[in-house]
């Protein structure tokens, strides 16, 4: 970094804050709590503001550029969502307040439950889980409990396709069940024969992402869900890719029994830094009694409708304190209300159109392992003819020099040198064209000057990181202190 660190511009006596006179009596702190020689930087307010604003601009962000990180749905987050979730009526309520004093907040949750039910086709929704992975754990626990209560306690296996997101096997393991991997067929679908071979009375169910992480809609989906049911199992839907289906089809109609929503993806909440998110779970009527709570319900008394909370009778129990991440619920509610029925459908249509357009622009240069029309994202191989030692990672790093966030690399695992690209519906044709041009230019560079790619990025504040050291807990901490 060429910019000075705060410690370097520190001058004795400079100060960026003025504390108000205390309105309580001064008290002496016990000796030993105060350190005379604490080396805090002394800087003016303007220096401090510039320091932090500069730091805030070192990372790429959806608000500063294209962010085609596949599977993450990094769509633009409308700013009206932020205004809504900061309204004092939403920020200044307390989860322990009596329900009659928070009817507005409950109404928002109740309506959101209804919207998600309408969108997914599932009659019962719990808003409590805090993220997609948390929804998965919740859903698997619900499936297990439902089968145990049917007396089928020997069931202890969840089938997970090899294209699945890593959270699927992880949450299954956390639930205490065993994971068995199901291979994909040559067209990127669940391999029906392999599935059949694993269906028996040990199976709790199948966890399926549709469209899957290759961006493909399973061509045998109804047959897959039918066979799992026939074997006495249940089907879990990983709803992270709901962006492709909004307003077009409902997961409940496709044979799923449980589904999590990633509100922060499909319904827009900033999630680049890892949270907070929200992963509500929807279930069929048969599973409704097992949902975690509290869930908001409408009652009627003499004065009219009244919103209250209930815990489903055979609930797996709460999975998070109180109501889940309420701020994310407000954003999702606002997003849905702003777009309406027509707008939500256009989200899915444009997400799919944008992905197919981008794919059509680069597919002659970047190999496409599963040659099909994609949904909202697609996976190509980061391998360029005539440049044998250029890898997906090199291409991604070079994209940063062109001002783009790299796509997802090396996932899904079943594609060699995977580059997983999700443009989302919010990007213009001009942006998609600029990104395609960059990828095509990079392919030329790869042939002419592969070293340029191996050493990229060249324009970012830090150049190529040592991938091992960068993610090692001992070396990944940022350097703020002098001399580091
Ligand atoms: C993002 C994602 C998840 C996990 O969701 P989180 O909200 O990040 O916990 C699971 N499956 C798929 C396909 C995803 O893209």
Query: How far apart are the CA of 176 and the centre of ligand 1, in A?
Result: 20
Q: Check whether 472 has a pLDDT greater than 90.
A: no
Q: What is the pLDDT of residues 261-318, one digit of tens each?
A: 999 999 999 997 777 999 999 999 999 999 999 999 999 888 888 999 999 999 999 9
Q: Check whether 190 has a pLDDT greater than 90.
A: yes
Phi, psi of 385 (to 5 degrees): -60, 135
Query: How far apart are the CA of 5 and the centre of ligand 1, in A?
Result: 36
Q: How does the average pLDDT of the chain come out, rounded? A: 94
Q: What is the pLDDT of residues 120-148, one digit of tens each?
A: 999 999 999 999 999 999 999 999 999 99
Summary count for the chain: helices (H), strands (E):
15, 12
The larger pLDDT score, comparing residue 481 to residue 40, is at: 40
Tokens at 238, concatenated: 């990983």
CA-proximal residue: ligand 1, atom 11 (nearest): 165
Query: How far apart are the CA of 22 and the centre of ligand 1, in A?
Result: 47
Helix (H, G, I), strand (E, B) or coil at 402: coil
d(CA 35, CA 33): 7
Architecture of domain 348-470: Alpha-Beta Complex (3.90)
Q: Check whether 337 has a pLDDT greater than 70.
A: yes
Is 243 near ligand 1, meaning CB less than 6 Å away?
no
Is 133 near ligand 1, meaning CB less than 6 Å away?
yes
Q: Which of 42, 40, 58 is nearest to 3 (CA)?
A: 58
d(CA 377, CA 301): 49
CA-proximal residue: ligand 1, atom 8 (nearest): 132
Binned at pLDDT 50, 70 and 90, residue 478 comes out as very low
Binned at pLDDT 50, 70 and 90, residue 484 comes out as very low
Which CATH fold topology does 79-339 show?
3.40.640
Is 171 near ligand 1, meaning CB less than 6 Å away?
no
Other beta carbons within 10 angstroms of residue 107's beta carbon come to 15
Query: How far apart are the CA of 455 and the centre of ligand 1, in A?
Result: 31
HSE, side-chain direction, 13 A CA sphere, residue 373: 6
Per domain, the residue ranges of the chain are 1-51, 79-339, 348-470
Q: What's the confidence (pLDDT) of residue 476? A: 53
- Compute the CA torsion angle 444, 446, 451, 455 (nearest 10 deg): 100
Q: Which of 68, 70, 71, 161 to mutate to test the pocket of ligand 1 (most atoms within 8 A of CB)?
A: 71
Query: How far apart are the CA of 55 and the centre of ligand 1, in A?
Result: 28
Cis check: omega of the bond before 294, within 30 degrees of 0 = yes
Helix (H, G, I), strand (E, B) or coil at 211: coil
Q: What's the confidence (pLDDT) of residue 480? A: 38
> Tokens 């990633």 — which residue?
262
Question: Taken in order 137, 218, 202, 256, is the CA torsion positive or negative?
Answer: positive
Cross-strand bridge partners of residue 305: 300
Q: What's the confidence (pLDDT) of residue 475? A: 62
Q: Which of 249, 264, 245, 228 is nearest to 143 (CA)?
A: 228
Is 213 near ligand 1, meaning CB less than 6 Å away?
yes
Q: Determine the average pLDDT of the residues in 55-74.
A: 93
């Amino acid at each position: 970094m060429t910019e000075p660190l705060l410690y370097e511009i520190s001058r004795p006596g400079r100060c960026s804050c003025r504390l108000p006179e205390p309105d309580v009596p001064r008290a002496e702190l016990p000796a030993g709590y105060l350190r005379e020689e604490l080396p805090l930087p002394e800087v003016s307010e303007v220096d401090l503001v510039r320091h932090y604003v500069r730091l805030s601009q070192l990372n790429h962000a959806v608000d500063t550029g294209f962010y085609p990180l596949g599977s993450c749905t990094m769509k633009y987050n409308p700013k009206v969502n932020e205004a809504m979730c900061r309204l004092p009526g939403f920020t200044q309520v307390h989860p322990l307040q009596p329900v009659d004093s928070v009817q507005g907040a409950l109404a928002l949750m109740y309506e959101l439950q209804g919207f998600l039910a309408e969108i997914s086709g599932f009659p019962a929704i719990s808003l409590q889980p805090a993220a997609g992975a948390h929804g998965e754990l919740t859903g698997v626990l619900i499936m297990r409990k439902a089968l145990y209560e049917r007396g089928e306690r020997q069931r202890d296996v969840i089938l997970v396709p090899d294209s699945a997101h890593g959270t699927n096997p992880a949450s299954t393991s956390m639930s205490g069940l065993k994971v068995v991997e199901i291979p994909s067929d040559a067209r990127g679908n669940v391999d029906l024969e392999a599935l059949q071979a694993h269906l028996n009375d040990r199976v709790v169910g199948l966890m399926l992402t549709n469209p899957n992480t290759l961006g493909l809609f399973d061509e045998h989906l109804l047959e897959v869900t039918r066979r799992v049911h026939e074997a006495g199992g249940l089907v879990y839907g990983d709803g992270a890719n709901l962006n492709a289906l909004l307003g077009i089809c409902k997961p409940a109609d496709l044979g799923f029994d449980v589904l999590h929503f990633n509100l922060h993806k499909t319904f827009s909440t900033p999630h680049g830094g890892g949270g907070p998110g929200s992963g509500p779970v929807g279930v069929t009527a048969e599973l409704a009694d097992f949902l975690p709570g509290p869930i908001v319900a409408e009652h009627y008394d003499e004065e009219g409708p009244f919103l209250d909370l209930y815990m489903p009778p055979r609930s797996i129990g709460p999975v998070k304190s109180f109501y889940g991440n309420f701020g994310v619920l407000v954003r999702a509610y606002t997003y849905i209300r702003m777009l309406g029925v027509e707008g939500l459908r256009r989200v899915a249509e444009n997400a799919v159109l944008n992905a197919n357009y981008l794919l059509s622009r680069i597919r002659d240069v970047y190999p496409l392992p599963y040659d099909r029309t994609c949904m909202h994202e697609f996976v190509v191989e980061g391998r360029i003819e005539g440049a044998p030692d250029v890898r997906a990672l090199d291409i991604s790093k070079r994209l940063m020099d062109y001002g783009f966030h790299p796509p997802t690399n090396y996932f899904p695992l079943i594609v060699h040198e995977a580059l997983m690209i999700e443009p989302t519906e919010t990007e213009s044709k001009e942006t998609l064209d600029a990104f395609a041009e960059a990828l095509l230019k990079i392919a030329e560079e790869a042939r002419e000057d592969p070293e340029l790619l191996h050493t990229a990025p060249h324009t970012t504040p830090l150049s190529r990181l040592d991938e091992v050291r960068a993610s090692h807990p001992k070396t990944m901490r940022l350097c703020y202190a002098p001399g580091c």
